[in-house]
Structure 1
Amino acid sequence: MTYIDSTIRETVANVSASTWKARDVVAAHIDRIDEVNDGLNAVVIKCFDQALADAARIDQQVAAGESVGPLAGVPVTIKECFHVAGTASTIGITTLNQPHRRDNPIVQRMREAGAIVLGKTNIPQLMIWHECVNPVYGRSVHPGDRERTPGGSSGGEAAIIAAKGSMLGLGSDLGGSLRVPSHFCGIHTIKPTERRLPIHGCQGNMHGMESMLFQPGPMARSVDDLAIALRVMNGNYDDAQHVCDIPAPLGDPEEIAIENLKIAYFEDDGYFTPSPAIRRATRNAADQLASAGAAVESVKPPADMQKMVDLYYGVLAADGGKDLRRLLKGSKVDPAV
């Protein structure tokens, strides 16, 4: 097993036992980024010197017999919109270039758990479409086919995790921005329930829209990695910094009685018809859950999907694009925007 192929659980166990050095793990991921990023353009802000220093501190703590956190020595990357001290969050806008003084609260929780921030990853301008290109950083491409997109808006995250340059990512999602790029690049993600994770400390758009909110969430190469990361990101809210931070305890997936679950699913919503491969994967997932004891039922989706889609886009455009125009004032604008 190499450092860049290991899981979060394996990395933390080896670093905590002094079998591996956190600095070696981080250095291996930096080497991997150096190897692939010129072609991918996924990592757009590099924090390598600080990452190596932070990893060395983890090794010192282990050597001193001190306890380390559940992400000890885990190399992570952060979507460009999230505040990381000393870096800007431009969301692809050429006029938003002021460095932040403090970390986003989720980034802070990850650091306190021992994670090592390698850098920040690319997004589409304004984070409003499923591509990954903007006038500040340029275009990111798919790690398996450079003629294709990694998706968006968390496209840089998905690309560098799939390319094994990062073990864990922090992305965000309103209308698929975690799920679409993860699907495109073949990694795993979860969009948490709205407001489960704090949404401040992030450069946003469409201010004032409260009926639908973006959600931060983890991105990784395995479901087990997601479960470990989400527990850290969720925190315990003793460190609440904002009125919107809602205390929401996170259950342990190991304690869920699958036989008590009732699950409904459908393969086609009648509006966006999925490919045969996606329908097959949905059926396979349903079959696996049923064989594990859950009550699984195939259902018909709501008949008024067109109305639901119209309502969704109506909410997105409720201010007539006023806030987007405010953000873009004085900036170069991507033609697609």
Structure 2
Amino acid sequence: METFSYHQQWQAERLTDAFRAFNALSENLAQSYQGLEEQVTALNRELAAARDERVNTLIEKERLASRLQQILAALPAAVIVLNREGVVIDCNGYAVDFLGEPLLGESWWQVVGRSLQPVFDSPHERQLRDGRTVNITYSALGNGAEQLILLSDVTELRSLQNLLARQKQLSAMGEMVAGLAHQVRTPLSTAILYASQINTPGLSGEKRLQFSAKILERLHYLERQVNDMLIFAKQGRMAMQDFELQTLWLLLADSADALTCDFTLEDRSGIARLTGNQDALLGALLNLLTNAVEAGARRVILTATAGEEGDLSIEVVDDGPGVPEPRRERLFEPFFTT
């Protein structure tokens, strides 16, 4: 009986220990579950905050994108975006107005070829098919994979600039009248003098030929002055064409024979043909020779060489006294004389 009681007591103690361990485990499990619930709650709060922040960021980005689209639409200029291959991937309404359709998905250089014409004296400007003038600006976007092109309508600005240049030109033409009159009067008086001598009784045939040559030379000088004035009146716009360089040298040498100086022409360029205005270039060179002789030069050397890109470089050197320092600033004034 005592043995049974001892066994029961041992089982009771074991059961008590088991209940105690179970209670401790349950308490630990409850604490762990509570901690897990707290972590889940914290994570949910963080997730909600991150989600709200992301939503706010997306809303702000959408608002910014909408503002940018509105600005691009209202901007009085054509905006075009190209990808790495030079294909138009985005543009605003002004781009379509300037360049026409199709535009998206088109090669930019094909668009340029069909809608933009070069401007004679401005490499950064083009002319639209309707006659408007636009300025073109290129810039890289981001990492350089895309390119932004901005076309601004400068038609009115160029018209105002041309008007201002025209007014300045008219003012300059008024100021140059006195100088031009001086340059015309001297050769004209000389031609009249020689013409009056031709009718002198008993004048030999040789003298008549000399006087005739002098008259012709003075008339050619007057013709150059008139041509220079016409070029100035046209604001320097001249017809460009190909011409033989040797023809220019022959015309220059023939005209230089009438000058009282030792003229030497050295062509080291190796260039056969040029693109430009032959008459204007000839007139400019003859003016340099004439000015040198009138300033007292006895020897004039003209040297022609080729530039790095195949252009022609001309250097005129003489043994005259040179241009006084105070007058050098006025050398490029039209028809400036002393």
Tell me which structure has the larger Cα radius of gyration.
2
- Larger relative strand fraction: 2
Relative to the length of structure 1, the TM-score reads 0.21
- Larger relative helix fraction: 2
Relative to the length of structure 2, the TM-score reads 0.21
Answer 1 or 2: higher relative contact order, Cα 8 Å, separation at least 6: 1
